[in-house]
Amino acid sequence: MTPAAGRSLTVDTIMEGAHVTRFPDRTRRFRPVLAAFVAAVVLTAGCTLPAFAPRAESEGEAAPPGTAPQWRACPEVPDELVGRGAADMRYDCARIAVPRNWGSGATTGATAGPGAGETFEIALIRARSTKQRDRIGSLVINPGGPGASGVDTAVYLSFGPAFGGLPTAITDRFDIVGFDPRGVARSSPVKCISDADLDASFGYDPDPESQSSFDGFVGLNRRIGERCGAKYGDQLPLYGTEQAARDMDAVRAAVGDDKLTYLGYSYGTLLGATYAQLYPQRVRALVLDGAVDPQQKLIAGSESQAKGFERAFDNFTRWCAANAGRCPIAPDARGAVTDAIAKAKASPVRAQDGRKATAGWVFYAVISSLYTEQGWQELARAIDDLQGGDPDGVFKLADAYAGREPGGHYSNLFDANLAVNCADETEKPTREQVRSLQSQWRQKYPLFGPALAVGMLGCVEWPGERDPYPTGRANGAPPILVVGTTGDPATPYEQTPALASMLGVGRVLTWEGEGHTAYPQTSCVTSAVDAYLISLTVPREGLRCPAR
């Protein structure tokens, strides 16, 4: 498993995933949950939404391809997720069927090849304000991952600005529509990785230096790949991004919009960019927040994340040194974290339930905390507690990132993450290349480089053909808003102008803040994005929003 989020083998960990726990009193601690979510909306090698209840398949028949869906009231979805629905919001659900293999883009799907003539079911939710006026249409949401649930995300964002959700200016004018992409959560989920293998993967040494330890990680990834290949065979490439982007056009048609209005976070920016290339004339407005550079191959993308996380961690250590009263591991936070990982390799602390806080779990606690600036103090406390023999804070952070439930069960987040990322990826380094990069990146990015290098083994050992997405201009599309955060660890800021340039119609909006994704965190960012979504007013060239 790889750390973090973006397009290499990481997961946009929705900081719901990164730092929200399952707690019994859902309403009292509701605001920090949603605020944390919006601050990090996004799971690729670690981005998961909080799951307070199982994501059961929605009831109802899936509408056949090309037909209107049958919407039904579904208040049970927000009830299961957070204990209640938002005030003045109505929730409706539907399911649509899409071709498993869109082939050359024919509306009925391919007539030959893997999945020909078969369908996937795509789950949708629509949150509509009872105070809606002058309705523009639907705002379709994707939170990233790949592997995160858009159904869950739409629910969280429907609660409005008081809870860190979308502004009322948006919910007053748009239906908020979330969908689980093919293979994710409620949409014909792909599931082939056992809980035991996920525990082993997250708990494994993030920098296996000895050859035997490295070979052990190779073996674990090979076993995962073999089991997924045995279950899904030649249909594994059908979970790729281009197929999912074609599903998005079916979603657009299902909600009755002539053109798509879309908000995509992290990996969701790749999905949106692919849609814009396939259907430029059907774009109304796209907001791509936490931009992924589609032109980066696996190695370049993994190194970019290593650099991004190293930079974010440096920002954390500087904050720690300047705020010793709130950072119990000051003044040398890097030394404290590095020492904690080293000690966990030699003698991991055992929790009351018998779990050992190995180096891998400590590492993922660090990854988890960097998705939002609010996570920094929690990391400092967790490392300080670990030094005192209490690993609970480490497991709280790491489990949230991994989507691990208290009983040890995982959602299909990482199954889908691997299936999508590896279907997309044409570059397949050898094990020897990975081993060499592990050593090289240890020198350049000492804390995160080795883990991002060995994380590539997931796709190295993955079976099946590849189905790469397009990487070109969105000729004929209107201006597309591409949002980047200067301190983003998972989708480093450098990818923002790269994506805008590739599309040819991208307009960059910069937030000089910390964490993963920007909207709607400050008045400057919110005003610019709202004006674009509502009136199609494009921000001025070079607009930079301050951190506060």
The terminus-to-terminus CA distance of the chain in angstroms comes to 34
480: nearest Cα among 252, 269, 253, 249: 269
Check if the beta carbon of residue 429 is closer than 8 Å to that of residue 299.
yes
Please say if 409 is a catalytic residue.
Answer: no
C-alpha–C-alpha distance, residues 360 and 207, integer Å:
9
C-alpha–C-alpha distance, residues 368 and 365, integer Å:
5
The pair of structure tokens assigned to 173 is 């004018």
Please say if 266 is a catalytic residue.
Answer: yes
Which residue in 266, 302, 304, 411 is the catalytic one? 266
SS (H, E, C) 147-176: CCCHHHHHHHHCCCHHHCCCCHHHHCCEEE
Please say if 488 is a catalytic residue.
Answer: yes
Residues 6+ apart with CB under 8 A from 66: 107, 108, 253
The pair of structure tokens assigned to 473 is 């201009």
Which residue in 197, 205, 257, 488 is the catalytic one? 488
119: nearest Cα among 96, 139, 92: 96
Residues present in the chain in total: 548
Residues 6+ apart with CB under 8 A from 458: 1, 2, 9, 221, 224, 225, 418, 421, 422
266: nearest Cα among 478, 454, 483, 49: 483
- Kindly give the confidence (pLDDT) of every residue in the chain, 548 residues in length, as a single tens digit, with 9 standing for 90 and above: 444 333 333 445 433 332 222 222 222 223 333 333 433 333 333 333 333 333 444 456 787 777 789 999 999 999 999 999 999 999 999 999 999 999 865 666 787 889 989 999 999 999 999 999 999 999 999 999 999 999 999 999 999 998 889 999 999 999 999 999 999 999 999 999 999 999 999 999 999 999 999 999 999 999 999 999 999 999 999 999 999 999 999 999 999 999 999 999 999 999 999 999 999 999 999 999 999 999 999 999 999 999 999 999 999 999 999 999 999 999 999 999 999 999 999 999 999 999 999 999 999 999 999 999 999 999 999 999 999 999 999 999 999 999 999 999 999 999 999 999 999 999 999 999 999 999 999 999 999 999 999 999 999 999 989 999 999 999 999 999 999 999 999 999 999 999 999 999 999 999 999 999 999 999 999 999 999 999 999 999 999 999 98
For β-strands 137-142 and 174-179, DSSP reports them as parallel
Whether pTM > 0.75 for this model: the answer is yes
Which residue in 19, 149, 411, 516 is the catalytic one? 516
Check if the beta carbon of residue 162 is closer than 8 Å to that of residue 527.
no
What is the chain's Cα-based Rg?
A: 21
C-alpha–C-alpha distance, residues 240 and 468, integer Å:
7
